[in-house]
Copies of this chain bind each other. A is one copy, B any other.
Amino acid sequence: MSANRASNVVVLGGDGFCGWPTSLRLSRQGFNVTIVDNLVRRKTDVELGTKSLTPISPIDTRLAAWQEVTGQDLCHVDIDIAEDYASLVALLRDLQPQAVVHFGEQRAAPYSMKSPRHKRYTIDNNINATHNLLCGIVETGLDIHVVHLGTMGVYGYGTAGLKIPEGYLPVQVEAEGVRHEMDIIYPPNPGSVYHMTKTLDALMFFYYNKNDQVRITDLHQGIVWGTNTADTLADERLINRFDYEGDYGTVLNRFLMQSVVGHPITVYGTGGQTRAFIHIRDTARCVNLAIDNPPERGERVKIFNQVTETHRVRDLARLVGQLTDAEVRYYTNPRNEALENDLRVENRQFLDLGLAPVTLSEGLLEEVIEVARRYADRCDPAKIIADSTWRADIPVDRVGSQEPNRWQPDTG
């Protein structure tokens, strides 16, 4: 094992859907992993009166199980990084981590649009979390690599035929008869308050990288599907979250789970939205690759598009419908977005680093269906339809208004 492999890594938000399997992978790869998590995602389940479809264990049970299964120690520290700057800095000084993986943000667009309180929480939490991390790293004087979970949503959708590059866009400007060349950050076009926070993060990364030479990798991730990785399958106590409800559930997993419980597949709008996807196993792999390939000190922020394929939502609905005989139904779209959009995404960098992506065609859809079947009795059908809205002209009670409450789940 190289010295590099024995280094400390801190995973902010390491108890969450992406953070947990990533923490396990990094632990298995030999990093000494410290999870920093204030368990807010579990508390949000309490707020929303919902729960993960899979029965996730308490964090202490998770850590004990991992120790039992692998012999590896995984630590958990409960710090609210957006509030408790002093504890965060003390931790950084103490651990002197090689890298901090930053999943520590409110990550659901519908949740960020539920109410003024939710909008304000998302802004306040995400901006202060990211800024505290950057400010804290500068204060310690340590050369810590930040690996941040961003989103494809920073680009916006509907890029008029332009293949989305990995973060930077070379442009030309004609002015006063002179041609100027600039290499700019791709112009941000966020679609929700949540997505906006990630565009604000990007600017903070730009500044702290420029002024203080903080080494930063920003991962512009697509929609994650799947539930488990080899690590989370090693013991039932290690099982990962499965969000199926209207706020935190994401499109493909939701479709698969809906088909299992006998709910119509919920397509919002025409389903003409094209989205980028990645399997949860590749999320963990990509973060690992990012840690292993940091930017040099003084190099600009390294931006990866962390996506492996793109699909149109109604095609996914059709695919899941065929696979499971479920009905596809179209609901009022609560979002402000184009009815139809194309999306082509550059993703060479991770492929060049050796990523061999999991794709929809490789049988893992069945695995999600299997997980959904196994825990279908934990589903609360009342939570499936979103109750957030982006638009003053579409009040919350019209979202999912098409034939509401007509169906019942056919679980045991």
A interface, CB within 8 angstroms of B? 85, 89, 116, 119-120, 123-124, 127-128, 131-132, 135-136, 138-139, 141, 160-163, 169-176, 178, 180, 182, 184-185, 187-188, 190, 192-193, 196, 199-200, 203-204, 206-207, 210-212, 336, 390, 392
Which of B119, B131, B136 contacts A123, CB < 8 Å? B131
Contact A172 B175 (CB under 8 A): no
Q: Return A391 CB to nearest CB of chain B, in Å.
A: 8
| Given A160-B180, A200-B200, 14 further pairs, Cβ under 8 A | A85-B116, A85-B120, A116-B135, A116-B138, A120-B131, A124-B124, A163-B175, A170-B173, A172-B173, A185-B187, A190-B207, A196-B204, A196-B207, A211-B390
CB of B163 within 8 A of CB of A176, answer: yes
Residues in B with CB closer than 8 Å to A132 are 120
- Which residue of chain B is the closest to A115 with respect to CB atoms? B139
From B120, B210, B211, contact of A135 by CB (8 A): B120
A164 to chain B, nearest CB (A): 10
Known contacts: A135-B119, A212-B392. The answer to whether A172 contacts B170 by CB under 8 A is: no
Q: Smallest CB–CB gap between A116 and chain B, Å?
A: 5
- Chain B residues within an 8 Å CB radius of A211: 192, 336, 390
Min CB distance A255 to B, Å, is: 26
Name the distance in Å between A132's Cβ and chain B's nearest Cβ: 7
Tell which of B85, B123, B161 touches A128, judged by Cβ atoms closer than 8 Å. B123
18 contacts between A and B (CB under 8 A): A116-B135, A116-B138, A120-B128, A123-B127, A124-B124, A124-B128, A162-B178, A169-B173, A171-B172, A171-B173, A172-B172, A172-B173, A182-B187, A184-B184, A184-B187, A188-B203, A196-B207, A203-B203
